[in-house]
Each structure stands twice: as structure tokens, then as C-alpha cells.
Amino acid sequence: MSQPSVSIGPYVVGEKPVPLTYAFQDSTGTALDLTGYTVKFVLRESLSGAVATYGATLNVPTTTGIAQYVWTGSEFPTPGHYRCRFWAGNTTQRFASVLITFDVADSEGPVPSI
């Protein structure tokens, strides 16, 4: 059975894209109130299996259910097929975003400091 997913990118090793946002909603499309929740962003490179977890933020007001991850430029150090999700939880409840996938291509040389 396939799971809901969205594809973004493609990107290049060392790239620093615009912030990624995700709107947590209930089954009717109403924004989840994430007041008091913590949000994490989990990223995995599919071929190597390397997994990394990053802190994410909630947009204010948190009643909009919108989570955001600001890329640092170090998330994809190697080419490959990546998959990631936002997670929101408050120790009582935990929600996962849809699966987010993207490909990363190799850079032609060193990534410039710009």
C-alpha cells in the first residue's frame, strides 16, 4: 500500500533551499492546534540509510499548525535519494507529516562560501 507523499527539489550537494513548511491538519482539513507541542524534522538518505534529526519550529500563532525547517546547507552532504518527515508531539499525542522525498545531485566542485 502506498503512503501519501510529496516530492520536492531536486537539489545539489551543499545547497541551502528556502525554508520548508508543512501544515498539520485533521481529517477535515482544519489546522491542528499545536500549542505546547515540540516539532522535529527527520531526514534519511535512502541508499546509505544515514538518519539525522533536526529541531524545527512552529509558526506563531501555533494554532495554525504550520511547522517550518530552515535548512543550514549541511543536510545533504552526498548525492542520493532522500526522504523526510516533520513530527509534532506533546508526550500525549504525536503526529507525522506526509512523506517528503527529493533527489540530490553531486556538485561539480567544492561548494562556494557565498
Domains annotated for the chain, with CATH where assigned, are 5-105 (2.60.40.1220)
pLDDT of residue 4: 84
Tell me the whole-structure pTM to 2 decimals: 0.90
pLDDT of residue 3: 66
Identify any residues that bridge with 41 across adjacent strands, giving them in sequence order: 54, 86
For the chain of 114 residues, list the mean pLDDT of each consecutive stretch of 10: 81 95 94 96 89 93 95 92 96 96 92 85
**What is the phi-psi region of residue 28: left when phi exceeds 0, alpha when psi lies from -120 to 50, beta otherwise?**
alpha
Which residue, 28, 32, 101, is CA-closest to 66?
32
pLDDT of residue 1: 43
pLDDT of residue 33: 95
Identify any residues that bridge with 12 across adjacent strands, giving them in sequence order: 105
SS3 (DSSP) at 110? coil
pLDDT of residue 22: 96
Identify any residues that bridge with 11 across adjacent strands, giving them in sequence order: 104
| Three cell numbers, residue 26 | 485533521
